[in-house]
């Protein structure tokens, strides 16, 4: 009798060989920028834009069906939805407090669940492998590509998809032979691609996060929040009074304000490239292992990407929450500064009179 462990190993090896021979796709053409599928006037619709619209529509539909029949005792999809939202709400309130947590929760939760959905739904096997071929005189040779839909699988007699290099001396002849055989030459433009693998999507989320944080800060402090970045009051008073001490202090305030402004801009860059880099790297790894050793080995990296998807969504949302708390706390601290300044100004003459009396 063969033990269960050996059976599992034999099955894994068999699936690996089967995938290596029959399920390998073409060598993936890795592109940092999203591919344009079609244009509406002067607007180019890319595969990441199309994918993000479909994912948002899916999320709206899911929430609609989960909440259309609200019950006092939740069950099924409603129970799972309530549990996820409540758990994240308790986390936000636990970090920011009841008042600020209720204020920040809608934006922070939207960012978290949107990034999470983008990351997880992008792991479906239809991503980056099914699409249309952008015909060129060089590129990969697709044997079965009739109509707008195209994909490619290997066979025992052909373990890799042939390609035509534009620098090859026989490129023109190879292209003509491929066309005569009814094949298609070009690059596969997938219909579906991870939205966060396009630099524009993480950048848009980072900008929304920054706008939300600055809006909360302005509402807490008012327009005076701008002094955090452009604090020229001391410098101006020093210049008008010819006070070199105030001028020196004012220059330091201006420099610190510029550092704060630079840190806000750097925050956008770090938010964007952290999410983009992790998702794009995961997409590349899965594509390469799908080409090299599909099925068994690829599943390991799918599991890793599920974990990475949660972590990246959590980091993006929690950093937004932390920066919001810092901005509001800075606003409340700045709001109390004039009061302390006035108290000090009022107590100073009294102290001077007492000293004069003595």
Q: Which of 25, 38, 35, 37 is nearest to 129 (CA)?
A: 25
Kind of pairing, strands 43-46 and 36-40? antiparallel
For 231, residues 6+ apart whose C-beta sits below 8 A from its C-beta are 253, 254, 256, 257
Q: Is the distance from CB of 118 to CB of 107 less than 8 angstroms?
A: no
- Report d(CA 70, CA 81) in Å as an integer: 11
Tokens of 180: 């005569």
Q: Is the distance from CB of 189 to CB of 47 less than 8 angstroms?
A: yes
CB atoms within 10 A of CB 152: 20
- Report d(CA 244, CA 251) in Å as an integer: 10
- Report d(CA 35, CA 198) in Å as an integer: 10
User: Which residues sit opposite 184 in a β-bridge?
Assistant: 142
H or E element at residue 265 = helix 244-292
- Report d(CA 88, CA 115) in Å as an integer: 14
What is the full per-residue pLDDT of the chain (358 aa) written as tens digits? 567 777 777 777 777 666 666 666 555 567 788 888 888 888 889 989 999 999 999 999 988 888 887 777 777 788 888 888 999 999 999 999 898 899 999 999 999 999 999 999 988 877 877 777 777 666 666 665 554 555 544 444 444 456 676 667 777 777 777 777 767 777 777 888 899 999 999 999 999 999 999 899 888 877 777 777 777 777 777 777 787 777 778 778 878 878 888 888 888 999 999 999 999 988 888 877 777 776 677 778 888 889 999 999 999 999 999 999 988 885 455 545 544 444 444 444 444 434 444 4
């Amino acid at each position: 009798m063969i033990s269960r462990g050996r059976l599992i190993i034999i099955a894994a090896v068999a699936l690996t060989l089967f995938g290596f021979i029959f399920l390998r796709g073409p060598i993936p053409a890795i592109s940092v920028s999203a591919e344009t599928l079609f244009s509406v006037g002067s607007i180019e619709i890319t595969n990441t834009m199309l994918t993000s619209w479909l994912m948002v529509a899916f999320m709206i539909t899911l929430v609609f069906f989960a909440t259309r029949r609200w019950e006092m005792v939740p069950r099924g999809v409603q129970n799972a939805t309530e549990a996820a939202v409540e758990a994240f709400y308790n986390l936000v309130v636990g970090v920011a407090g009841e008042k600020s947590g209720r204020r920040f929760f809608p934006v922070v939760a939207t960012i978290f669940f949107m990034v999470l959905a983008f990351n997880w739904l992008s792991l479906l096997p239809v991503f980056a492998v099914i699409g249309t071929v952008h015909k060129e005189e060089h590129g990969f040779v697709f044997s079965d590509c009739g109509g707008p839909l195209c994909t490619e699988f290997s066979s025992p007699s052909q373990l890799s998809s042939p390609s035509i290099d534009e620098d090859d001396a026989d490129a023109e002849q190879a292209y003509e032979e491929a066309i005569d055989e009814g094949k298609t030459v070009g690059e596969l433009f997938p219909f579906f691609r991870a939205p966060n693998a396009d630099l524009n999507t993480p950048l848009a989320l980072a900008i929304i996060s920054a706008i939300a944080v600055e809006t909360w800060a302005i509402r807490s402090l008012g327009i005076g929040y701008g002094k955090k970045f452009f604090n020229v009051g001391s410098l101006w008073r020093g210049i008008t009074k010819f006070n070199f001490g105030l001028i020196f202090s004012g220059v330091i305030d201006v420099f610190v304000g510029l550092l704060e402004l630079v840190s806000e801009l750097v925050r956008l860059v770090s938010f964007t490239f952290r999410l983009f880099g992790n998702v794009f790297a995961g997409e590349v790894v899965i594509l390469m292992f799908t080409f090299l050793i599909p099925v068994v080995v690829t599943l390991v990296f799918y599991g890793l990407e599920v974990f990475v998807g949660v972590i990246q969504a959590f980091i993006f949302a929690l950093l937004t929450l932390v920066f919001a708390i810092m901005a509001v706390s800075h606003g409340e601290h700045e709001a109390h500064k004039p009061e302390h300044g006035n108290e000090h100004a009022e107590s100073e003459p009294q102290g001077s009179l007492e000293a004069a009396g003595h």
